[in-house]
Amino acid sequence: MTLLEVEGLSVRFGRRRRRAIEDVSFAIEPSQRLGLIGESGSGKTVTALALMGLLPQNAAVGGEIRVNAVSVRDLDEHSYSRLRGDAMSMVFQEPMTALDPTMRVGRQVAEALLLHSRHQAGSSRKSVMAMLERVGLDEVGRIADSYPHQLSGGQRQRVCIAMALINSPDLVICDEPTTALDVTVQAKVLQVLNEVLGAEGAACLFISHDLAVVSQVCDQVIVMLDGRIVEAGTVAGVFSHPEHPYTKGLVATARLDQMPPGERLPTVPDFYRGQL
């Protein structure tokens, strides 16, 4: 059974009905990793939030979203909340602000666990510690008793990954989870994410603007431009033989090391200007 089916999804904002995304359709099979790439403002995050049902109140959503063949658009707030953090969860872009500054991080992870299970508070601590270890944190006891401001960005993002994965979700939506981290931490967090996603057998919608990062995590990829999907396929296929001029631009500008020195560097619009 297909895990996630998105059909003709559109999101408009405000009274002016400004279009954010239009006619977005894709599907994710169990355990599949789907990359979603595109530049800032192309509608990647809006797509992710629409799937989670976390768009702001002034958003008008159209189209169909099915999780395990159940249409989430028909669910009431209460039933939808029960899916979130359990069947589907999300890792956000900004680890510095994603955690409650007034609560110890161990409790925040435990909260995600207790919300969806009949764990007793005592035994939850053991599960939380185990999960924190699995996302590659050392001294988990000290980390769990820390407040967010006492941890580094990489540590916080791993706490967020632990929160997202502690209930063994079927689908994890990662919205640029490494963009806010420096390069060395980025590699470590990606590795951790790869490991836990694999171990849990969770499917993943991985949003990024970084082709290299997407190719490390995903097997399939879709490309978004101005709120629409312009290309889809396997990572190897799309990146080696991009068909849409925008994707060609993305791929070419990601390989700036192959440019002869001294020449003006190409930008993405060079590739599709006048062709759309």
Give the residue, chosen from 71, 97, 123, 234, that forms a contact with other proteins under the rule CB under 8 A: 97
d(C-alpha 136, C-alpha 133), whole Å: 5
Residues 8-37 that bind other proteins (CB under 8 A): none
Report the residue number, 103 or 276, with the smaller CB distance to other proteins.
103
Smallest separation, CB 103 to other proteins (Å): 7
**Contact string 116-135 vs other proteins (x = CB under 8 A):** x-------------------
Stretch touching other proteins by CB under 8 A, among 75-83, 127-135, 229-237, 246-254 = 75-83
Total Cβ atoms within 10 A of residue 219: 12
From 96-104, 122-130, 207-215, 235-243, span contacting other proteins (CB under 8 A): 96-104
Q: Which stretch binds other proteins (CB under 8 A): 74-82, 201-209, 233-241, 262-270?
A: 74-82
Residue nearer to other proteins on the CB measure, 46 or 160: 160
Among 5, 94, 210, 226, binds other proteins (CB under 8 A): 94
Site size toward other proteins (CB under 8 A) is: 34
Instruction: Pick the binder of other proteins from 89, 155, 216, 220 (CB under 8 A).
Output: 89
> From CA 36, how far away is CA 209, in angstroms rounded?
8
Closest CB 88 distance from other proteins, rounded Å: 9
d(CA 71, CA 64) in angstroms, rounded, equals 7
Instruction: Provide, rounded to whole angstroms, the least separation between the CB of residue 109 and other proteins.
Output: 9
The single-letter code of the amino acid at 158 is R
Q: State residue 84 phi and psi, 5-degree precision.
A: -65, 135
Considering only CA atoms, which of 88, 276, 53 is closest in space to residue 165? Answer: 88
Residues in the chain: 276
- Binding residues for other proteins, rule: CB under 8 A, are 52, 54, 57-58, 77-78, 81-86, 89-90, 92, 94, 97-103, 111-112, 115-116, 146-147, 149-150, 160, 163-164
